[in-house]
Amino acid sequence: MAGRLQDAGGEIMEGELTCSGCGRAFDIRRGVPQMLLDTLERDVKKARTATTFGFLWSRTTDANTHGGSHAAKTLAALSLTPPAGLVLDAGCGDGSDAAALASHAAEVIGVELSEGGSRAAFERTRRLSNAHIVRADLCHLPFRPGHFSFVYSYGVLHHMPVPEAGLAELARVSRHGAAAAIYLYEDFSERSAGLRWSLRAANSWRAVSTRLPPQLLYALCVVAAPLVYLGFTVPFKVLNRVPVFRPLAAGIPFRHGRAPFSLAADLYDRFSAPIEYRYSRHTAAGLARVAGFAVEQVAYERGWMLGLRRGE
């Protein structure tokens, strides 16, 4: 590694990272190695995905984080112990989960496709000596086979052009017997007819929303957020106080709102992604098995959390 500019803590902010195996050199920009391998030039939808999510992640701060850290919730739901050793956060977004995982693991590497996300993740983790951010494509990870002892990916694979390829790549870089935890959107096949209809209605709006400029779509989501909060979060809070209505309340979407405008980022996430796949419990597990993982645990939390094990 050659550095042209370092910060006060010795972090290389600008320079080159050279692969000891193939000899290829990668730029380091603002502390983040750029290892995309021309991915965005060859795939228009992937480039659009990077742009839309990069806009969202670049807006996050410690006080304004989309969804907060999902890592602790995922590990608890799947009855997994906090990971040790070398951990991969595949699609780390703004770095919230990478920072959370770094409090347990020996070392965490967060991989993010978008420039905005990788920059935000670096800023969030730069004071953590055991957390590192790389800008790369999950379908072309710049790591040798069997490199990681734990792999984590929350809400990323279902936005990829070929989720199977992304998950197979996660299996490739996992050690034999390594644990993994992933989260995938649900297809509402186990929900009520009314909620299945609402998903179809939302998807019809996505045909328009995914073509809007990120700034405009986010502004519309800010306007819509209080209405969604009143229509979904408030009824959940009311019904959840009555034991007999709690099963009904548990099926209400957007029930996690904290304040009227807190759902703007969630709405943007829902309506901005150019690609969106959804899964039943059965198809989510099947996706993991095809990639080379054994499915050890499945938990439901507004989608499917899967606890996996890399095959021996």
Q: Is 306 helix (H, G, I), strand (E, B) or coil?
A: strand
CA triplet 160, 164, 165: central angle to 5 degrees?
75
What pLDDT sits at residue 65? 46
Mean pLDDT per 10-residue run, the chain (312 residues)? 50 79 81 81 85 90 54 92 92 93 90 94 92 94 93 96 95 95 93 82 90 95 95 93 89 86 92 94 95 94 93 74
Locate 8 and state its tokens. 């006060």
Structural domains of the chain, with CATH: 1-30 (no CATH), 41-186+280-310 (3.40.50.150), 211-272 (no CATH)
d(CA 211, CA 217): 9
What pLDDT sits at residue 146? 93
R_g over Cα of the chain: 20
What pLDDT sits at residue 280? 95
d(CA 174, CA 88): 9
What pLDDT sits at residue 66? 43
Cα 4 to chain centroid, rounded = 32
Q: Which residue has the tokens 């659009």?
A: 48
pTM confidence score: 0.89
CB 142 within 8 A of CB 113: no
d(CA 125, CA 128): 5
What is the biggest distance separating any 2 CA atoms in the chain, rounded to whole angstroms? 64
Residue 279's Cβ-side half-sphere holds a number of Cα atoms within 13 Å equal to: 24
What pLDDT sits at residue 10? 59
CB 179 within 8 A of CB 80: yes
Length of the chain: 312
Beta bridge partners of 66: none
What pLDDT sits at residue 50? 92
